[in-house]
Amino acid sequence: MSADALYDEHWLLAYEANVKGWLPSVSGTDHVAADPNFGFLKSRKAFFYDQSATAAGTAPIPLPTLPTITTSVTFTSLVAGTARYPVAMV
């Protein structure tokens, strides 16, 4: 992360990644603490993502399932004298 990232559309990730220790700073310095605005928040232990809300050991949220739709179509020849071959599409 970098100091510039604190002022773009991903500012929240740049801040939280530093505060939570998820991603290191590109320069090796604490870019959040060095910034007057975000340093103020960090010094007061402000955060936006609460990790305690996702306690370990809880059951995962099940993925939604889609209904099964079955379609059957039969094609027959309209030309006189030819064989008819039914075809089912599922």
Q: Where are the domains of the chain?
A: 4-53
pLDDT at residue 71, rounded to an integer: 76
Maximum distance among all alpha carbons in the chain? 88
Helix residue ranges, H only, the chain: 11-20, 31-34, 36-43
What percent of the chain clears pLDDT 90, i.e. is strictly above it? Answer: 31
pLDDT at residue 44, rounded to an integer: 93
Locate 55 and state its tokens. Answer: 């306690």
Residue 22 pLDDT greater than 70, yes or no: yes
Give, as one character, the DSSP assignment of residue 36.
Answer: H
Question: What average pLDDT does range 17-36 have in this prediction?
Answer: 88
Nearest to 19 by CA among 42, 36, 43: 42
Which range among 25-29, 31-35, 73-77 shows the weakest confidence by mean pLDDT?
A: 73-77
pLDDT at residue 67, rounded to an integer: 83
